[in-house]
Structure 1
């Protein structure tokens, strides 16, 4: 199961890097979002979460580690805010420059 999880994270990061290397604004934003999701899943997996552990302290002998859960929750909120901010910047840039190319110029054919 760990190999499948690691492979899935690798595919997500590789897809995010591919999208980052595109020359348009929207794929770059999607690539950043995909990489942030992969990092969140990586941090979440480092908590060694199990099916037999509970999150409530005192309910069982073993309990889940709350730190990765808190880190991922914070990262989700910050990632959402940064994605919204990046999209607003992209829309403003597209309105002022007239193109969604990251350099502000259309490539010559």
Structure 2
């Protein structure tokens, strides 16, 4: 169990995917995502293993939820700067999204 103070440390924010790049050097099929989290936070990159459910075209403009206060994670020569959240069923991931368009950077909590 975690306490409320632990939960408050996890900074989940809404961002819009602005670019999707195939990531053939990843061990498992993945995309490199460029995500806009608004003026205060800016642009962050992420690697996401979501190729089974989503095409590049499906992702552009999609608002997603991500944890933005983890340390960068190196994947080959790429640095993932946030963790895109989704439900996981085996190798299939469904992204957590906002059902209504909201301002980029809003905190989830």
Alignment TM-score, normalising by the size of structure 1: 0.22
Larger helix proportion, structure 1 or 2? 1
Higher relative contact order (CA 8 A, sep 6+): 2
